[in-house]
Amino acid sequence: MPLPGEPALNNVETAIINSGVSDQRGEIHFSAQNILDWGGSLSHQAEGADYRGLEGESVTVPASRIDDLISNELRVDLVHIDIQGWEMKSILASIDALNAKVASMVIGTHSRVIEGELISLLRNNDWLLVYEKPCKFHCQSQLPDLVGATYFDGTQFWVNMKLWPTNFQWT
């Protein structure tokens, strides 16, 4: 459904891009224990334990930044980001393109630290946090990274106030 005051689109184009999203271009490595492991995360290192402290094999894939993925778009209505702890790094690396082209974002969050960093970054760039469900984590975890202690992802829904109609009211 189009935003108020915008024309409806009669066609939609899609593209499949073989790439992981990161804050850097090049290659990244995804750790996955088995087909049922939905918590695998990217790393810039091919070997070693993942953010959860689990050892396992990794798969190498090309890496793209968010600004690379939206470079040919004039405007993007919605970006959904769920990248297991790399959301802040990736958004920060592409913040100028997000500010210029993206109207809204749904972000799956993976630590309280990341949630706070996103709130600070996006509020300072004229984004409005419309909805938040903080993540849940094992507060007594001894893992070196709080992302690995998260057992239930959080969610943030943001709108870019520069790209939303000025008469639109969020209540």
Task: Label each residue of 56-69 as H, E or C.
Answer: CCEEEEEEECHHHH
Higher confidence at residue 20 or residue 26?
26
**84 confidence band (pLDDT: 50, 70, 90):** confident
Strand order in the sheet with 104-109: 79-81, 104-109, 154-160, 127-133
Q: Which CATH number, 3.40.50, 2.60.98, 3.30.450, 3.40.1000, labels domain 20-160?
A: 3.40.50
Distance CA 128, CA 163 (A): 11
Residue 129: predicted pLDDT: 96
Residue 115: predicted pLDDT: 92
* Residues 82 and 41: beta-carbon distance below 8 Å: no
Picking from 83, 75, 92, 170, the residue whose alpha carbon sits closest to that of residue 131 is 170
pTM, rounded to two decimals: 0.77
